[in-house]
Amino acid sequence: MITLYSYPELFGVADNNDYGLKVFAFFKLTGVSFTHEHILDASAAPRGQLPYIVDDGRTIGERLRNIMQPKRNLRMLWECKSGSGRAG
């Protein structure tokens, strides 16, 4: 299972960082199974930056930006919602 590590909630929003919120929303919209862990100390994160994910022991940080390209997101979301793709 994927674990998303990001900054804590702020005013009821899942992440107080715009990029972390984007990743969180993408996973929710596509139906990806994941857990969300809030942390403040980013020293264990790749390049010391949040958000990052751990997927089956693999830590993915900087490459997360490549995954979150808008055109790819829309296609994946469409495939997941139409049943022609696989979520998670």
First to last CA, the chain: 9
Contacting residues for 75 by C-beta, under 8 A, at least 6 apart: none
Three-state DSSP class for residue 85:
coil
pLDDT digits (tens, 9 = 90+) for 1-14: 889 999 888 787 78
Say if residue 30's pLDDT is above 70.
Answer: yes
Residue 30 contacts residue 50 (beta carbons within 8 Å): no
Residue with more model confidence, 68 or 37: 37
Q: Render pLDDT for 43-79 as a digit per residue (tens, 0 to 9).
A: 888 888 888 888 888 888 866 665 655 556 556 655 6
Query: Which pLDDT belongs to residue 64?
Result: 63
Confirm whether pTM is higher than 0.75: no
